[in-house]
Amino acid sequence: MPVLELATYFAKNTEKILQREAIWLGKWNWLGRSSTIRYQPLGVVGIIAPWNFPFSIPCGQVIMALMAGNTVVLKPSEFTPLVGLKIAELFTQAGLPKDVLQVVVGDGLTGAALVQSGVDKISFTGSVPTGKKIMEAAAKSLTPVVLELGGKDPMVVLEDADLEVAAAGAVWGAFSNSGQICASVERLYVHEQVAEAFIQKCVAKTQQLRQGLGSEPVDLGAMNNAPQLAKVAAQVVAAAQAGAQVLTGGKRVTGGKGYFYPPTILTGVNHQMSVVSDESFGPVLPIMTFKDEAEAIQRCNDSQYALTASVWTKDLARGQRIAEQIEAGTVMINENTYTFALPQTPWGGPKQSGIGRTHGKEGLLEFVGIKHIHLNRVARMKDLWWFHYDRTRYQLLIAMADMLFGKGINRLKGAVKMLWFGRQAKNL
């Protein structure tokens, strides 16, 4: 559904978003000048995709890049190469001309080769360390990049929130896709007045989740790969050794196929623990308490990431006020995680969460070059600032500045002086 929504949105709106745009130049428009902005394709866009949403993330970026007039080279994750090939197959079935979209499969060496291949832009979604390597390699040829590098997204539950709804949202936001979402709830701050009741609800809902292969209806499947599972397990072990309490989960599921890790809730954690400060990208929810709004905001902003955040409250004005103070590319009120599926809105965030935006008008503009065309409609006259200079022309330019930018009597004096020195100016 997110891909269908995105395709429909950009099919209907790309021409309007990228149409020629006139710029109002203020006083210069009255002096016979005009400017327009035109958007042009970049050329060849390289897209390096992640494994957690191997269809929707690259497919949406491919659609935007193509709609902007580019050709695309897609490099899927080495963990999900067949999905990348399926994307190319779908575009071929849709009638896309041969080689307008090409797919290259392989590991990091293939991605590095794509960055160094001379493409006109790289769009990467993945980890911070890999994003830094891509940016460093792209800098050698000044190839521009868009980097979406993930998050450690906080959720704030105020004392006036609907605890039943907030708990359900927390469990879904933390554990959907086994927590392998850059916008997953990876830190939760609940007001101390309601913490006990809220945590009990979260634990009860988590223990009801079904985990399995999917041959029967389940809520959680396996994690994608062994290194990611090992990272999550190590974070939980380290937190427990440092004093955290494991309320549910916490030990890898063994005895069957697949990289299964149970949905895990931790309390007694702090910002010195890796499970709170570093991206987990797995089904782990650390919960902490706060006393007032200021503390909650400070805790949210105490992170190297700033992709999304959420605030849960019945007082929408209060939620808006807190949202304004949280450092994040997207802040949701009484909602979390899903806004990547809104193609109308920009996606991305500051700090270590990346550079640039995907989706929305802002995301589409990442795939075009901006050309400014300026027109002088009175070219039969020489500009006042052209050669040759003399004292009279100097005084004329000062008078012109007073007339255009002065106020009150100074503006009137400037106009009178322009008439006086204009008559005396030479070679006009």
Per-residue pLDDT reduced to its tens digit, 291-346:
999 999 999 999 999 999 999 999 999 999 999 999 999 999 999 999 999 999 99
Q: Is 110 domain-assigned?
A: yes
Q: Is 257 domain-assigned?
A: yes
Whether residues 270 and 299 share a domain: the answer is yes
Q: What is the 3-state secondary structure (H, E, C) of 168-215?
A: HHHHHHHHHHHHCCCCCEEEEEEECCCHHHHHHHHHHHHHCCCECCCC
Distance CA 86, CA 109 (A): 22
Whether residues 158 and 143 share a domain: the answer is no
Residue 122: give its domain's CATH number: 3.40.605.10
Residue 157: give its domain's CATH number: 3.40.309.10
The single residue of 182, 186, 202, 279 carrying the catalytic annotation is 182
Q: Is 353 domain-assigned?
A: no
Q: What is the pLDDT, as a whole number, of residue 183? A: 96
Q: Is 203 domain-assigned?
A: yes
pLDDT > 70 in the chain, percent: 99
Question: Is the model's pLDDT at 285 over the cut of 70?
Answer: yes
Distance CA 72, CA 61 (A): 10
Whether residues 266 and 293 share a domain: the answer is yes
Whether residues 11 and 114 share a domain: the answer is yes
Question: Is the model's pLDDT at 58 over the cut of 90?
Answer: yes
Q: What is the pLDDT, as a whole number, of residue 398? A: 87
Q: What is the pLDDT, as a whole number, of residue 365? A: 97
Whether residues 304 and 408 share a domain: the answer is no
The single residue of 148, 186, 279, 327 carrying the catalytic annotation is 148
How many domains in the chain? 3
Beta carbons within 10 angstroms of residue 243's beta carbon: 10
Give 142's pLDDT tier (boundaries 50, 70, 90). very high
Q: What is the pLDDT, as a whole number, of residue 425? A: 65
Q: What is the pLDDT, as a whole number, of residue 427? A: 52
Give 281's pLDDT tier (boundaries 50, 70, 90). very high
300 is catalytic: no
Contacts of 183 (CB under 8 A, 6+ apart): 151, 153, 307, 308, 330, 336, 337, 339, 340
Q: Which domain holds residue 230?
A: 153-341
Q: What is the pLDDT, as a whole number, of residue 426? A: 56
Q: Is 354 domain-assigned?
A: no
Whether residues 6 and 86 share a domain: the answer is yes
Whether residues 158 and 93 share a domain: the answer is no
Q: What is the pLDDT, as a whole number, of residue 89? A: 97
For the chain, the average pLDDT equals 94
Whether residues 336 and 236 share a domain: the answer is yes
Average the pLDDT over 218-234 and give the result: 95
Q: What is the pLDDT, as a whole number, of residue 338? A: 92
Question: Is the model's pLDDT at 363 over the cut of 70?
Answer: yes
Whether residues 65 and 184 share a domain: the answer is no
More confident residue, 422 or 412: 412
Q: Is 131 domain-assigned?
A: yes
Whether residues 281 and 190 share a domain: the answer is yes
- Lowest mean pLDDT across 57-71, 205-219, 265-279: 205-219
Whether residues 328 and 367 share a domain: the answer is no
Predicted TM-score (pTM) of the model is 0.91
Q: Is 346 domain-assigned?
A: no
Q: Is 356 domain-assigned?
A: no
Whether residues 40 and 75 share a domain: the answer is yes
pLDDT > 90 in the chain, percent: 84
